[in-house]
Amino acid sequence: MKFVIHRDKLVQSVQDVMKAVSSRTTIPILTGIKIVAHSEGVTLTGSDSDVSIESFIPTEEDGNEIVEIIQTGSIVLQARFFSEIVKKLPMDLVEIEVGNHHSTIIRSGKAEFSLIGLDAEEYPLLPQIEEENLFKIPTDLLKTMIRQTVFAVSTSETRPILTGVNWKLENNELICIATDSHRLALRKAPITAENQSSYNVVIPGKSLNELSKILDDTNELIEIVITENQVLFKAKNLLFFSRLLDGNYPDTSRLIPNESKTNMTINSKDFLQAIDRASLLAKEARNNVVKLSTLSGGTVEISSNSPEIGKVSEEIQTADITGEELKISFSAKYVMDALKALEGTEINVNFTGAMRPFVIRATNDDSILQLILPVRTY
């Protein structure tokens, strides 16, 4: 294998596939990056066996030569060293050449590295995925849907299925749901599917976080293929594979109340900042809990009290409040997470008494819903 490549393109691709490489793998060859040079360009692969990322660098892009393939072939190089090396090479062009016994020369300007490589034949094959049933979604919408749900997954392995986001596709609508059993985030969007397929799968939160990091902010369509135990995201020059979580995701639809007793419309930023301030004293005591009390004149009070440190209270004016009087306590962190995920400046909060879950929605937008369980304080 021998090729000459533009350093910047190589650095970008290496960074992308590095997202899948873990130093704590039990399969030694997966600490490496697989490099394949073929007539159309160079393909890099990184994997931790849960997530695999393949990045393709074409020989030519927009009429400019990016890679010159001198001899096709393949090699696996230690990811940590290879990624550090390419970042620090002195010149714009890099030559990579495999010699005897997988020894690989990386040359740029007068700097010459010789790395001990591994046989690419030993590298595990990526999942073979039949691309019969695929659906498409704009990349930026996908990133938004991930951002608005993935924060609510469970970080505890007690119920592993809750560490993933439930993706349901039905009737040309994609619904993403995450819950850690204290709060729930739901986001839906219409989808262009080629046929009337329906899916109900659970994608690890960690995979979605990594995917989100390497996707560009573009409205180009990304293709999604779901199989029994894998999901594949296909963007331009990039394949992202993730395994799916085994097991049935709980039915969350009956958690969402369809009636309410106190309804509030409020500026999202004012509400967020008041809770943020009240949580400053709550961080120490009682697990970050703040209290909301309805007052007269359309105002609510956000307060918190830590006997050893002090107390804080703040009145905020709502745009509208109707229904029963209410005093309710909740995790400041959960409500702040939910408010940050919502787009739009005005939100509706629907309460059903101090002991029942409450729902936050953006005004005039039913595509997103955040549900929070209150905290008992007496």
- Sites of contact with a second copy (CB under 8 A): 78, 81, 84-85, 88-90, 103-104, 110-116, 273-274, 276-277, 280-281, 308-316
For 195, phi and psi rounded to 5 degrees?
-140, 175
What is the CB neighbour count within 10 angstroms for residue 3? Answer: 23
Please state, in angstroms and rounded to a whole number, the distance separating the CA atoms of residues 234 and 245. Answer: 20
Please state, in angstroms and rounded to a whole number, the distance separating the CA atoms of residues 170 and 191. Answer: 9
Distances (CA, A) of 90 to 13, 84, 93, 106, 326: 18, 13, 9, 12, 65
User: Closer to a second copy at the Cβ: 115 or 161?
Assistant: 115
Taking Cα atoms as reference points, which of 326, 366, 336, 345 lies closest to residue 152? Answer: 336
Least Å distance between CB 70 and a second copy? 21
User: Closer to a second copy at the Cβ: 27 or 111?
Assistant: 111
Least Å distance between CB 67 and a second copy? 23
Distances (CA, A) of 189 to 148, 167, 362, 369: 12, 11, 15, 12
User: Closer to a second copy at the Cβ: 231 or 264?
Assistant: 264
Least Å distance between CB 72 and a second copy? 23
Least Å distance between CB 241 and a second copy? 29
Contact, 120 vs 75, CB < 8 A? yes
CA dihedral 120, 122, 127, 128 (to 10 degrees): 70
User: Closer to a second copy at the Cβ: 89 or 335?
Assistant: 89
**Residue listed under structure tokens 């899948």:** 20
User: Closer to a second copy at the Cβ: 146 or 274?
Assistant: 274
User: Closer to a second copy at the Cβ: 8 or 216?
Assistant: 8
The three-state secondary structure class of 155 is: coil
User: Closer to a second copy at the Cβ: 207 or 318?
Assistant: 318
User: Closer to a second copy at the Cβ: 103 or 192?
Assistant: 103
Least Å distance between CB 314 and a second copy? 4
Least Å distance between CB 335 and a second copy? 16
Least Å distance between CB 189 and a second copy? 34
Element (H, E) at 359: strand 358-362
Least Å distance between CB 101 and a second copy? 12
Please state, in angstroms and rounded to a whole number, the distance separating the CA atoms of residues 315 and 318. Answer: 10
**8-state DSSP, 297:** T
User: Closer to a second copy at the Cβ: 107 or 147?
Assistant: 107
Distances (CA, A) of 102 to 80, 117, 123: 17, 5, 14
Count Cα neighbours of 11 within 13 Å in the Cβ-side half-sphere.
Answer: 14
Contact, 361 vs 369, CB < 8 A? yes
Taking Cα atoms as reference points, which of 188, 170, 193 lies closest to residue 178? Answer: 188
Contact, 304 vs 314, CB < 8 A? no
Please state, in angstroms and rounded to a whole number, the distance separating the CA atoms of residues 160 and 154. Answer: 8
Least Å distance between CB 275 and a second copy? 11
